[in-house]
Amino acid sequence: MASTQAGAGIGIANLPNQRHAIASKKGSALTMMIAGKQATPRPLIGESGLGKTTFINTLFTTTIKAPKNHKRRYNKTTEKTVEIEIIRAELEEKQFSVKLSVIDTPGFGDYTNNRDSWMPIIDFIDDQHESYMRQDQQPKRQELSDMRVHCCLYFIRPTGHTLKPLDIEVMKRLGTRVNLIPVIAKADTMTPTDLHKFKKRILEVIAAQNIQCYTFSLESDDEASTKRNMSIMDAMPFSIIGSTDDVQTSDGRTVKGRQYSWGVAEVENEDHCDFKKLRQLLIRTHMLDLIHSTEETHYENYRRAQMETRKIGEPKVKTVTNPKWKEEEEALRKRFTEQVRLEENRFRSWEQQLIAERDRLNKDLEAEHSHIKALEAELESMQVGLSPKRK
Amino acid sequence: MAHRIGRRKNVKKGFQFTLMVVGASGLGRTTFINTLCDADVVPKRECDEPEMAHVEEAIKIKPYTVELDEDGVKISLTVVDTPGFGDMIDNEYCFQEILGYLERQYDDILSEESRIKRNPRFRDNRVHALLYFITPTGHSLREIDIELMKRLSPRINVIPVVGKADTFTPQELADFKKRVMEDIEHHNIPIYNFPYDPEEDDEETIDENSELRSLLPFALIGCEEEIMVNGRKVRGRQYPWGIVEVDNTQHCDFAKLRFALLSSHLQDLKEITHDYLYENYRTEKLSRSAENLSD
């Protein structure tokens, strides 16, 4: 086979450039080149107060989501729902636009009873796969809206001990459906030695409990990439500090960080936290891999599982296990039984009334009857009295 | 004046004080107890096998007794730790366990009081104060926090504290404290807020109490190790960006809380427990049994 000489080739080597040109024109979902594909939804999951919102704003160096409005917290009636919020944004960098969808799950794990509080989240992820699958099965499938979840960041509370049963439950279910990246939130609570021990323990638990986390192949073409990949993998789970404020360090630099009375914790300092590594992973280096693995692995798993039991085009049999719906169902049922009972009572009292009426009328009738009888008897006696006179 | 005379008599005998510490795991409860007593009272939690990590642990109630010496005053401090609180997926059981424990202590006293011949050396195990560790989310109180404080405050003095307060910058801490106190007021949770009488008490007492009240919930940082700072040995945590000192009142409220619990307000907490909370419980219990008898 004739090999093409460098410089005299037919132009195959130009393909990456072409792809680049196409990708640049079409823009992308979430900052990376993926010719033509749509938004990369990525949910942030974890208990409230772990810095999820701050993290997202830090990652994209812009306020994507406004911080929680605390004045309104008394207006909300305690609904036991984990409401899923989808925030869409479009970012642009060097004439490259990106459609970003961030899915936030507030209120997770805050309640006394948190059983099944993860159901809305799991259902949401499955729903996206489902929706894509249905659209794929339609005759016309040019305009696909792809909201499949590409990556899920699970925020772990920095207890310093180990993963909680609630965490394990949720992560197990997430790991089989989506690329799961565990993240240690508010890492500036822990000293470096504590953090190291904590990470080790979490990794042990993840291995022992068979939780599937996102992994990628470390091999790469050049040395530098391989080394970088290895350092990223080593840092899992990533410890992060989030901050959108600019503060002054003791040596005069202005950085994004948190200012304590005893020092400044910097977001972008690799000795302080793994934020930079995580950002590299999510945006600079592995976004393509995240999107592809979602399509090739997770979506295919879902599709295969569904296809084994369903025919093409059949809608999904939905088991309503959402606690909110169950509550509504209960409330409706109660209302209906109440109404039925009221109506029955009404009918019963009406019946009583009618019976009473009838009895009364019967009595009157009887009275009249006896009256008539009396009159007849009188008439008879009078007639009898008359006739002998005539004789 | 009478207060001081009583204290002198007790100084020789020493005081007895029981403190319960409640909070989710990982909030620095165990470390706080050890820091408070300046000794390894509670053993560090042994993390179980990773294979067992998914098993939900029920709450356990563990009392530890320690002899302390505060400026020449002997204090026999009993700390009741509650590991496993809030660790289960459904935590309803935890509340009942703690409430049951508190009420059992009251029951013991009640039955002892009703005896014809009382035991002079009877040990009073009633809990005088409860430190509730609020999770430093940065937002406000969670449902489980509100539920617990509401249910336990009729039986015990509840003092809310914020664990691992080095999560917060000074501004965040002030905001969080404000929001927590607003929540407490909004839900009408009767916590122990260093009560004082503006007419009866003297200036000093009023100032002291209002200062402590303004610090609620107390921001705590716990640390058992000592490190070197500028040549002195301090208890603190070393971060890459600085050192947090436990005993530094600029960094956290630990020192103030310790003083309030073990010196200035120890007597007050005990009195409220005996004169008010225990009396209420006794009334409720006896009227309930009277009702049952009359039925």
DSSP letter for each residue of B177-194: HHHHHHHHHHTT------
The residue extents of the domains of chain A are 23-320, 322-386
Peptide bond into A237 cis (omega under 30): yes
pLDDT digits (tens, 9 = 90+) for A132-171: 888 887 777 776 667 777 788 888 888 777 787 778 888 8
pLDDT at A2: 40
Query: Could A260 and B244 be called an inter-chain contact, meaning their C-beta atoms sit closer than 8 Å?
Result: yes
Picking from A223, A192, A213, the residue whose alpha carbon sits closest to that of residue A281 is A213
Residue A283 has pLDDT above 90, yes or no: no
Cβ(A216)–Cβ(A226) below 8 Å = no
For residue B5, is it within any domain?
Answer: no
For residue B81, is it within any domain?
Answer: yes
Extract the tokens encoding A160: 């310093």
Q: Which residue out of B85, B89, B95, B238 would a mutagenesis test of the A interface target, given it has the greatest number of A Cβ atoms within 10 Å?
A: B89
Does the structure's ipTM exceed the value 0.90?
no
For residue B262, is it within any domain?
Answer: yes
Query: Could A161 and B250 be called an inter-chain contact, meaning their C-beta atoms sit closer than 8 Å?
Result: no
Shortest distance, CA B260 to any CA of chain A (angstroms) = 24
Instruction: Give the containing element (helix H, strand E) for B33.
Output: helix B29-37
Alpha-carbon distances of B195 from A197, B130, B208, B257, B267, rounded to whole Å: 43, 16, 10, 15, 13
Q: Which residue out of A117, A186, A247, A262 would a mutagenesis test of the B interface target, given it has the greatest number of B Cβ atoms within 10 Å?
A: A262
pLDDT at A80: 39
Extract the tokens encoding A145: 């809206």
Extract the tokens encoding B265: 């307000």
Residues of A in contact with B250 (CB under 8 A): 261
Cβ(A169)–Cβ(A118) below 8 Å = yes
pLDDT at A27: 41
Pairing of strands B232-239, B242-245: antiparallel
Number of residues that this document lists for chain A = 391
Picking from A46, A53, A47, A112, the residue whose alpha carbon sits closest to that of residue A80 is A112
In sequence order, what are the residues at sequence separation of 6 or more whose Cβ sits closer than 8 angstroms to the Cβ of residue A78?
Answer: B143
For residue B52, is it within any domain?
Answer: no
Distance CA B279, CA B277 (A): 5
Extract the tokens encoding A294: 């979602």
Extract the tokens encoding B66: 């320690």
Tell which phi-psi region holds residue B94, choosing left (phi > 0), alpha (psi between -120 and 50) or beta.
alpha
Beta partners for residue B219, in sequence order = B162
Residue B131 has pLDDT above 90, yes or no: yes
Query: Could B251 and A261 be called an inter-chain contact, meaning their C-beta atoms sit closer than 8 Å?
Result: yes
Cβ(B31)–Cβ(B223) below 8 Å = yes
Q: Which of B26, B89, B237 sits opposite A191 (nearest CB)?
A: B237
Alpha-carbon distances of A30 from A283, A286, A287, B156, B159, rounded to whole Å: 8, 12, 8, 53, 47
For residue B279, is it within any domain?
Answer: yes
Query: Could B53 and A205 be called an inter-chain contact, meaning their C-beta atoms sit closer than 8 Å?
Result: yes
Residues of B in contact with A204 (CB under 8 A): 50
What does the buried/exposed string (b/e) look like for A331-368 if buried means 16 or more CB atoms within 10 Å of the residue's CB?
eeeeeeeeeeeeeeeeeeeeeeeeeeeeeeeeeeeeee
CA A57-A63-A69 angle, to 5 degrees, is 95
pLDDT digits (tens, 9 = 90+) for A290-322: 777 878 887 888 888 877 777 666 666 655 455
Extract the tokens encoding A320: 């309503």
- Helix A165-175 and helix A119-137, axial crossing angle in degrees, nearest 10: 10
Residues of B in contact with A261 (CB under 8 A): 170, 250-251
Shortest distance, CA A241 to any CA of chain B (angstroms) = 10
Distance CA A130, CA A315 (A): 9
pLDDT at A370: 94
Residue by residue, DSSP assigns A176-204 as: TTS-EEEEE-SGGGS-HHHHHHHHHHHHH
Percent of chain A whose predicted confidence (pLDDT) is above 90: 9
Picking from A27, A123, A140, the residue whose alpha carbon sits closest to that of residue A84 is A123
Distance separating the N- and C-terminal Cα atoms of chain B? 50
Phi and psi for B121 in degrees, rounded to 5?
A: -100, 25
For residue A242, with 0-12 CB atoms within 10 Å meaning exposed, 13-18 middle and 19 or more buried, which class applies? buried
Q: What's chain B's Rg over C-alpha atoms?
A: 20
Q: Has this prediction a pTM greater than 0.90?
A: no
Residues of A in contact with B238 (CB under 8 A): 191
Give the CATH number, domain containing residue B194.
3.40.50.300
pLDDT at A57: 76
Q: Which residue has the tokens 């937002």?
A: B139
Pairing of strands B62-70, B158-162: unpaired
Q: Does residue A210 sit in helix, strand or coil?
A: coil
pLDDT at A6: 42
CA A97-A99-A102 angle, to 5 degrees, is 140
Q: Which fold has domain A23-320?
A: Rossmann fold (3.40.50)
Query: Could B56 and A68 be called an inter-chain contact, meaning their C-beta atoms sit closer than 8 Å?
Result: no
Q: What's chain A's Rg over C-alpha atoms?
A: 37
Picking from B248, B217, B219, the residue whose alpha carbon sits closest to that of residue B232 is B248
In sequence order, what are the residues at sequence separation of 6 or more whose Cβ sits closer than 8 angstroms to the Cβ of residue A86?
Answer: A41, A101, A102, A103, A104
Residues of B in contact with A162 (CB under 8 A): 47, 50, 53
Residues of A in contact with B26 (CB under 8 A): 157-161
pLDDT digits (tens, 9 = 90+) for A3-60: 434 444 565 655 555 555 555 544 444 322 222 223 345 666 666 667 777 777 777 7
Structural domain of B176: 13-43+58-294
Extract the tokens encoding A121: 């989240």
Residues of B in contact with A68 (CB under 8 A): 139
In sequence order, what are the residues at sequence separation of 6 or more whose Cβ sits closer than 8 angstroms to the Cβ of residue A293?
Answer: A179, A214, A216
pLDDT at B218: 92
Question: Least CA distance to A270: which residue of chain B?
Answer: B240
A-contacting residues in B 66-85 (Cβ below 8 Å): none
Shortest distance, CA A318 to any CA of chain B (angstroms) = 25
pLDDT at B160: 93
Q: Which residue out of B42, B54, B139, B249 would a mutagenesis test of the A interface target, given it has the greatest number of A Cβ atoms within 10 Å?
A: B54
Question: Least CA distance to B185: which residue of chain A?
Answer: A74
Query: Could B25 and A159 be called an inter-chain contact, meaning their C-beta atoms sit closer than 8 Å?
Result: yes
Picking from B136, B220, B146, the residue whose alpha carbon sits closest to that of residue B183 is B146
Cβ(A136)–Cβ(A145) below 8 Å = no
Question: Least CA distance to A163: which residue of chain B?
Answer: B53
Residues of B in contact with A158 (CB under 8 A): 26
Question: How far does CA B137 lie from the centroid of its chain?
Answer: 20
Name the pLDDT band for A369 (thresholds 50, 70, 90): very high
pLDDT digits (tens, 9 = 90+) for A192-202: 888 888 898 88
Domain count, chain B: 1
Return mean pLDDT, chain A: 74
Distance CA A121, CA A129 (A): 13
Q: Is B46 on the interface with A (CB under 8 A)?
A: no
Question: Least CA distance to B23: which residue of chain A?
Answer: A159
Chain A / chain B CB contacts < 8 angstroms = 126
Alpha-carbon distances of B25 from B21, B47, B82, B113, B268, rounded to whole Å: 11, 12, 9, 37, 29
Cβ(A105)–Cβ(A84) below 8 Å = yes
Shortest distance, CA B18 to any CA of chain A (angstroms) = 26
HSE, CB side, 13 Å, CA atoms: give it for residue A159: 21
Name the pLDDT band for A348 (thresholds 50, 70, 90): very high
Longest CA pairwise span in chain B (Å): 73
pLDDT at A355: 93
Shortest distance, CA B42 to any CA of chain A (angstroms) = 15
A46 vs B19 pLDDT, higher one: B19
pLDDT at A371: 94
The least confident of A36-50, A268-282, B3-17 is A36-50
Written as one letter, the residue type at B174 is A
Cβ(B158)–Cβ(B130) below 8 Å = yes
Of these ranges, A241-250, A372-381, B78-87, the one predicted with the greatest mean pLDDT is A372-381
Q: Is B47 on the interface with A (CB under 8 A)?
A: yes
Strand ordering across the sheet containing B226-229? B226-229, B232-239, B242-245
The arithmetic mean of pLDDT across residues A121-140, rounded, is: 80
Written as one letter, the residue type at A109 is G
pLDDT at A4: 38
